[in-house]
Chains A and B, each alone.
Chain A
């Protein structure tokens, strides 16, 4: 029952614009669930942009929005809950 409910519950999603990201690490260190990390690839500006994974190292994303407030470069475009 619980697992069925979890499947239909909207999933949190953080949309990152990798081309605006300067890889400053701020969103990575404020994320309580550690859903964000710097990727190995480069963006057009030559930085390692941040990547979002809904399954973080400490748990799933809760759409708290801390990364959104911490980002200095408008790169966290939106934080929302999406229907799957």
Chain B
């Protein structure tokens, strides 16, 4: 919800929270889109002076270069624990983190699950690109079966590496979280050739707004953004989007898994 006193941002204009630095993300990466959406959402609610961003380890680590916010760098995977400390010391602050799937679903799964189980009023955005992007494309817990990565050159095999981890379902199975949602974030192909729809970005904007709303109402919010990593998938940008629509969308179906405050009904 936009506060009445908030300065009106142009609907399709530059966000006042963006620092103006060009992003280091690869061309077509969803991390950049998410950074943009967060900048828009925080500017809308005029929350720049009361927001703390906790950077995780991964491609999202340089988000403080692009968002003009106070930030803390957490050890690998420990962003939910750092956010818990900040939120308990200063309950008036808005804290959020952008984590990758290697950070939140692998090394930091314990912190994530316990923070979710306690129902800490924090917001976590997880960008799931099914691979370890920053370190060069190793297999992640979320890698689909059969996907070729640098550590699974013959494709992920179930006897050796098990099944892909459904983090959002795992978080939603707990009692604590107030808002859990998964968004299929990349632009997705349409029946018309060479035309894609941008529904994912619009859905993502709504999810980002609601995740901050849920935190302000005192609940734990977790949003997973199913994304692509064209460089480490060794594909062109548009081929990666097509692959994501074909393989990742059925594996990680988007939807609202928990909405305790009825944010989606408005």
Residues of A within 8 A of B (CB): 19-20, 22-26, 29-30, 32, 45, 47, 63, 65-66, 68-74, 76-80
Contacts and interface: CB of A to CB of B under 8 A. Distances in A.
A62 to B, nearest CB: 12
14 contacts: A20-B22, A20-B23, A30-B196, A45-B22, A66-B198, A69-B33, A70-B187, A72-B27, A72-B31, A72-B36, A73-B22, A73-B32, A74-B14, A74-B23
Given A23-B27, A65-B12, A78-B14, A71 B33 contact: yes
Contacts of A47: 27
Contacts, number: 80
Contacts of B43: none
B33 A70 contact: yes
Given A20-B22, A74-B36, A78-B14, A69 B202 contact: yes
A69 B15 CA distance: 12
A69 B23 contact: no
B99 to A, nearest CB: 18
Contacts of B154: none
A66 B202 CA distance: 9
B237 interface: yes
Contacts of B32: 71-74
Nearest to B31: A72
Contacts of A73: 22-23, 25, 27, 32
Interface string B230-250: 000000011000000000000
A78 B12 CA distance: 5
A77 B195 CA distance: 22
A26 B237 CA distance: 8
Given A19-B22, A73-B23, A24 B14 contact: no
Interface in B114-135: none
A51 B25 CA distance: 21
Kindly list the 8 A-B residue pairs having the minimum CB-CB distance in the complex, ordered from nearest: A72-B32, A24-B28, A79-B12, A22-B27, A24-B27, A69-B201, A70-B198, A72-B33
